[in-house]
Structure 1
Amino acid sequence: MYQHQHPASPLPNLQLPRTLNRPAYTEVQREAILDVEPNLGQVPFEYIRKGLHARGEELMASITAAKVPSQLPRSRLSTSFDIAPTRGTPPTHILAVQSSPSSKHPVSDIVFLIPTHQIVLAANCAHIPRIPASRSQIRSNGMLAIPVMPLVVPHAEAFAPLHSFIVAHRLDRLMSALLPVPPSMLSGATTRGSGSGAGAGPFAHVSAPQVATYLAASAAGDKMSALMALTRTVSAIWRNACALGVFDRDLWAALDFSWEVILGAMNMVATGAV
């Protein structure tokens, strides 16, 4: 059974927090829901999210079917993209995701393009800017013109895994982006409401020491550098979740578990245990 434990001894010469802090919980704004789906004005937020989770695969299929460039220079970004109509609910917006500038990373000219559904963002992201109502238009050639919505996050390159989880709520797919381990090692993980007991986290039946040992042993080349790269991925998704106000319990359990496992693997490498 997974227990949240810290490495036994300090990691040498590494400035990493032992845990990933969570911001104070904030619920999404009712006005944000009303902006995009006025008929959901009286529906409880949790019920809206469960309904979206049930449609997750359908929504992801429509996102995947929307053929747009994965990234573009900002100078080539248009106000809309044409996509071919498909079965199901088409995306309402094309997100133009850009990293927020910092002293280490000045303003980037590259934006990442991700089709999305406005209700998914409104129902899951408490801190996202108000989403303009979609005004998708049908062209004379039958194509749908989907408007572009700029979005600034701390790490644009790490937005896609978070967005996919928000849409489909697939814990297995999120973990594949966080930890390079065989899926069978995480097969005991369950999303909330799909088999885990009351109060039990989704990783209650996953062996963190076993996963950490595998991670340490399988790291290629400079093991510590390889593990540090994993901390950057987890940290980037964590920062994006904090900035957007995503407070899904399964998401946070995945981030906490991954962080603990990676630190445990780093400790094994640092102490010569692996």
Structure 2
Amino acid sequence: MYQHQHPAAPLPNLQLPRTLNRPAFTEVQREAILAVEPNLGQVPFEYIRKGLHARGDELMASVTAAVVPPQLPRSRLPSSFDIAPTRGAAPITHILAVQTSPSSKHPTTDSVFLVPAHHIVLAANCAHIPRIPVSRPQMRSNGMLTVPVMPLVVPHAEAFAPLHAFLVSHRLDRLMSALLPVPPSMLSHRGSASRGGGSSSAGGPFAHISTPQVATFLATSASGDKMSALMALTRTVSAIWRNACALGVFDRELWAALDFSWEVILGAMNMVATRAV
């Protein structure tokens, strides 16, 4: 496992945890799998997830090809959308209408974020997601699929898309681009792969990456008010972390990415606070 090698000076006037706590592991529900894909009833969960990872590019193709507005007011949210099918890709089953939980500290907004999704990806990866209504989109005479809208409440709706994209594609490199504004080459190493799960190292996908080197780059490249820029990064990582906790996502690659990003950002903040850069 990577180790703290950056200065451990306290951050002035900031109340940030040193690590991101992980909730107790909970496996997904067999009933949730059966509800959406009855033929997978006897298949081990890990085998289901590996099969989905292998189809990540295909599934992501249908997600990105679905044309829906990025946001809509709740008052104008339809019950379904007509979506053009994607050739060679499994059709999406739902349009998620993602909204921020009223209990969150952020002001409640009338807007919802619309995210095309596959029910099996959600059921196989999210232990705490509410029961997903069965959806078998049928093709209409005009060649379009009628896909139902499913409401979903999370702690931070604006941070759901990168988490969902990772669950669909399992691309660790793309997730990291949403977490840390550093050159991709800094986060690659011999023996790793761009797709999550490709690392052969027992220490995880970031075991051979220099945390101080990445933190130094982050601290020196931050523009304007460096501490404010770095604080904005902590909010992004924290929002994705809270969503993962709320949905019950326990993917090892995801947690490695969150832990590494948090450590790097705090290291960069320490460097700025102590004028080490």
Q: With the length of structure 1 as denominator, give the TM-score of the two structures.
A: 0.96
Identity percentage of aligned residues:
84
After superposition, the Cα gap between the structure-2 partners of 1:193 and 1:164, relative to the gap in structure 1 and judged at 3 Å, is closer
Q: Which runs of 5+ in 1 are unaligned?
A: none
Return the alpha-carbon distance in structure 1 between the equivalents of residues 166 and 209 of structure 2. Answer: 20
Query: Which secondary structure does the structure 2 equivalent of 1:102 belong to?
Result: coil
* 1:116-195 superposed matches below 5 A: 116-188=117-189, 190=193, 193-195=197-199
1:212-245: CA deviations, max 9, x gaps?
Answer: 0000000000000000000000000000000000
- 2:5–2:211 Cα contact (<8 Å) kept: no
* 1:267 maps to 2:257: no
For 1:78, the equivalent position in structure 2 comes to: 78
- 2:11–2:270 Cα contact (<8 Å) kept: yes
Return the alpha-carbon distance in structure 2 between the equivalents of residues 6 and 262 of structure 1. Answer: 11
1:159-192: CA deviations, max 9, x gaps?
Answer: 0000000011100000000000011100125566
After superposition, the Cα gap between the structure-2 partners of 1:195 and 1:17, relative to the gap in structure 1 and judged at 3 Å, is closer
Return the alpha-carbon distance in structure 2 between the equivalents of residues 103 and 69 of structure 1. Answer: 24
Runs of at least 4 residues off by over 3 Å? 4-7, 189-193
Return the alpha-carbon distance in structure 2 between the equivalents of residues 176 and 59 of structure 1. Answer: 20
For 1:224, the equivalent position in structure 2 comes to: 227
1:131-152: CA deviations, max 9, x gaps?
Answer: 0000423223221110000000
- Matched residue type, 2:90: T
* 1:54-65 superposed matches below 5 A: 54-65=54-65
* 1:18 maps to 2:18: yes
- 1:202–1:250 Cα contact (<8 Å) kept: yes
* 1:209 maps to 2:212: yes
Query: Which secondary structure does the structure 1 equivalent of 2:152 belong to?
Result: strand
Return the alpha-carbon distance in structure 2 between the equivalents of residues 62 and 15 of structure 1. Answer: 41
Return the alpha-carbon distance in structure 2 between the equivalents of residues 231 and 192 of structure 1. Answer: 22
- 2:5–2:212 Cα contact (<8 Å) kept: no
Q: Which runs of 5+ in 2 are unaligned?
A: none
- 1:5–1:260 Cα contact (<8 Å) kept: no
After superposition, the Cα gap between the structure-2 partners of 1:166 and 1:159, relative to the gap in structure 1 and judged at 3 Å, is same
- 1:28–1:124 Cα contact (<8 Å) kept: yes
- 1:79–1:147 Cα contact (<8 Å) kept: yes
Q: CA deviation at 1:193?
A: 4.4
